[in-house]
Amino acid sequence: MSIMKLRLLIVAVSSFCFCDSEVFFNSRHDDVPEWQHPHSKSPEGKHWALIAAGSNGWINYRHQANACHAYQIMKRNGIPEENIVLMMYDDIAYNELNPTPGVIINHPNGPNVYEGVKIDYKGDDVSPSNFLAALSGDETLAKNGKKVIQSGPDDHIFVYFADHGGPGCIAFLDEVLFANDLISTLKKMHREKKFKQMVLYIEACESGSMFENLLPKDINIYATTAANASESSWACYVDEQRNTCLGDAYSVNWMEDSDKEALDKESLQKQFLIVRKETKYSHVQEYGDKSISREMLSEFQAGPEYRPSPPIVLPKVPCGVVPADEAPLAILRHRLKTAKDEVSKQQLMREIDELLELRDRVAKTMQDIVTLATGDDVGQYERVYTKGHRDIDFDCYVPVFNLFHKRCYNVARTYSANKQMGFLVNMCDEKIPSEKIMEAITRVCKE
């Protein structure tokens, strides 16, 4: 398809789709079954929270908005500030593109979720190594004055992350955290008795691949994800004034539910069912020890001495959504649709063209790599491009990914590259030696 035809198509489909009515803001969820069970409080244990947004830039506004909103929920419900670790780049509130300096919102016309947040890791400190170190209570970081989770065997830990992702990885600025490294840290923490129970909520494309067939069911950890192991998560709330997305569907669904419900009356399982129902365009998943889901939300999203606060019920608005990895392109489409002058329109058209051309280049690069790696085996080439999700061979995948990331495209920054990483997974699944795949990458992507 020519660029001109693509331009016309973009303009034609630039409107976002809208969620079904009465999806996001029912004041109660009586159609979702209650879980009746005796649940145990943990008055002697502490409650901790680690909240991280891995991205930066105005185009990724929603990730830091999500993180700030999560921080407000934890703080408002009684987790002490010293027990909340917040990691975010902090380039949104006073960004030159922000029409309301010092204000970040996570819902159209919503409250300022930036107010009062205390950021512990900002700028280039947003990294996979610091994330794992803060989670596991790294003593060196603590000695250097950085806040870490100093938890013990009676404590509960809640972890929330938002950014882009790909097969078996989530992004932090220019780096990625691989699932095997996360799981290794979680297992080590369990062996060292650093928590009683832990809950993780992950917002990212293909976020299910961080846990599927990886997270054990017997280490007292429960996780939910915005998407399964092979699909996009979805951005939402495109804002007319800010020309960006304010949130992600899975994230605003769980947070807006927590805002309006009594956390000691709703279980993790009930919230999972609500979020799964309301997140229409991806398949919300759960992993690990699912018996933990019977616990009340207050055991993880509130302090041990939780007392319900007045519910926050935001007005119902259309929730335009777009696949998260397509959000940069979708935002440009929206800006083009609302542009007032010809100069702005031409500039936006050029930016759209560049993104489309980049997407084509990335796909062509991967095609050339697969062609070289599979050689004359036509059947193997076809299987690489047609097989569905497979368990990831990290011994093969990690070095192959890292070389592609270094020589071809920065996967953490080039969102169109995320979808291509599945073909690296498939080549490893085909038992093509990693050395052969890396040789192909080196030949195709010359420094």
The set of catalytic residues is 164, 205
CA end-to-end span of the chain: 30
CA distance 50 to 53: 10
Burial of 395 (0-12, 13-18, 19+ CB in 10 A): exposed
Let me know how long the chain is. Answer: 447
Q: What is the identity of the amino acid at 423? A: F
Secondary structure (H, E, C), 186-243: HHHHHHCCCCCEEEEEEECCCHHHHCCCCCCCCCCEEEEECCCCCCCCEEEEEECCCC
Find out whether 169 and 202 touch, Cβ atoms under 8 Å.
no
* Residues β-bridged to residue 87: 52, 121
Element (H, E) at 301: helix 298-301
Are the beta carbons of 441 and 408 closer than 8 angstroms?
A: yes
Tokens 């794992």 belong to which residue?
A: 132
Which residues are CB-contacts of 3 (< 8 A; sequence separation ≥ 6)?
A: 353, 356, 357
Q: Compute CA distances 239 → 149, 190, 265, 279, 312, whole Å.
A: 35, 42, 33, 19, 21
17 secondary structure, DSSP code: B
Sheet holding 221-225, edge to edge: 84-87, 47-53, 156-162, 197-203, 221-225, 285-288
Nearest to 123 by CA among 193, 192, 65, 53: 53
Lookup: tokens for 62: 């929603």
Spatial distance between the Cα atoms of 148 and 50, rounded to a whole number of angstroms: 9
Question: Residue 135 is which amino acid?
Answer: L
